[in-house]
Structure 1
Amino acid sequence: MTVNELAARLEVAPATVSLMVGELSRKGVLARREDDADRRRTIVSIADRHQDAINEWLGYGAKAWRQALEPLTPEQRRMFVNTLLAYEQALSG
C-alpha cells in the first residue's frame, strides 16, 4: 500500500503514517519501494524477513475480528468502530 492508502485505512493523517513508516523502515520491519507504474509513489510492505512473525502475531486476532464482524452490516461495523474509538478517547482523558 501507499502511505496515503495506509492513512485512509487507519483513519489517521498521512503525516502520522509517514512518520511511523519511516521509523519502522529504519528498524527493518517495513520495506519501501518505488511503484513501477508511477515513480512518484512509494509502496510500503512488511519486510520479507518479518512477514511470518507478524502474520503469526496478528493472524489469530485478525481471523477472530473477521468472524465477529462478518455478520454485521457496514453501518453496524462503523458504529462498532466508532464506539471503540469513543471508548479509547474516554480512557485517554
Structure 2
Amino acid sequence: MSRPDATDDTVRELLLVMPRLVGRVKRLPPPEQLRSLDLAPRHLSMLSLLLLDGPLTVSEMAGMLGVAPTTVSLIVSDLSRKGVLVRREDDADRRRRIIDISPDSRPAITQWLSPGAHAWRRALAPLSPAQQRTFVDTLLRYEAAVSTPTQTTPGQR
C-alpha cells in the first residue's frame, strides 16, 4: 500500500477540522436583541464590514462584498427598517448616503461578531502579510472549487 502524499495528509486534516470550525461558528447564537431579525450570512458580512471599517457608502460596501449596489441597497433598506442600520448624508457629497450600525444595535452586534474577528487576528498574527494573502487566496480557491464540483470521487487524484 502506498503512502499518501503530503497534500492528501493536509486534505485529510482539513476535512476533519472544517466541520468542527463551521459547527462552532454556527453555535454562536445572535444576542437576544437580534434573534428575531432573521439575519442571513449576507447581513453578517455587511455588519462585519461596518464594525471593522466604520461607516461606508453603498458603493464602497458593494465593492467590498463583490455584489451590485442595488443588492446592498436592498439589504440596507431591510436592516434600516429593523433599526439595525442608519443612513445619513455624506457631508462631502449630499447625494451620497453613509451607512452605519445604529447606536442601539452596535453593542449587541459588537458582542456577537467581534470574537470572530479577534480569533482571525490571533490565528493570522504569526503569518507574514504574504502568507496571510496566500491563506485567503487558498480559501477563495476552495470556495470556487466547491461551487463547481467535479466528478471525482474521494480517494481519486
TM-score range, shorter chain: 0.7 to 0.9
Could you tell me which residue of structure 2 aligns to residue 22 of structure 1? 77
Q: Structure 1-normalised TM-score?
A: 0.79
From the superposition, tell whether residues 63 and 20 of structure 1 become closer, same or farther in structure 2 (CA, over 3 Å).
same
Aligned counterpart, 2:113: 58
- Counterparts of 1:65 and 1:92, CA distance in 2: 24
Structure with bigger gyration radius: 2
Identical-residue share of aligned pairs (%): 61
CA apart distance, 1:69: 2.3
Structure-2 residue corresponding to 1:70? 125
TM-score, scaled relative to structure 2: 0.51
RMSD over equivalenced CA pairs, Å = 2.0
Per-residue deviation at 1:89? 4.7
- What letter is aligned with 1:53? A
Evaluate the alpha carbon distance shift between residue 10 and residue 72 of structure 1 in structure 2; reply closer, same or farther with a 3 A threshold: farther
Cα pair distance change 1:73/1:3, threshold 3 Å: farther
1:36 aligns with 2:91: yes
Q: How many residues align?
A: 93
CA distance in 1, matches of 2:62, 2:132: 19
**Larger relative strand fraction:** 1
